[in-house]
Amino acid sequence: MLALAAPAHNLTRAAGTLASAFHARATTATIRDRLINVSARLARSARRLTLQLPERRPWSEDLAQLFSTVHGPPAL
């Protein structure tokens, strides 16, 4: 069990660091509540699934920053 807990903790901390300066110092529970446990809705249209995220969350910019950092081109 510890073999799975350590990488999960490290990935959570890395996600917090990439999201914002606030989340870099936040506890693991705060990162989990604000970035990982996002209430979203699956919408189906033309045989495609689309994930619709809420727009008015106070930390939606941090989630967008994390997404763009992870899915952007690699830094040189």
Residues 6+ apart with CB under 8 A from 60: 53, 54
Q: Which residues are bridge partners to 33 per DSSP?
A: none
Which pLDDT score is estimated for 24? 94
Rounded Cα–Cα distance for residues 49 and 15 (Å): 24
**pLDDT recorded at residue 60:** 84
8-60 per-position pLDDT tens digit: 999 999 999 999 999 999 999 999 998 888 888 889 988 898 888 887 888 88
Report the predicted TM-score, pTM, of the whole model to 2 decimal places: 0.73
Q: What is the pLDDT of residue 26?
A: 94
Q: Report whether 23 contacts 30 (CB < 8 A).
A: yes
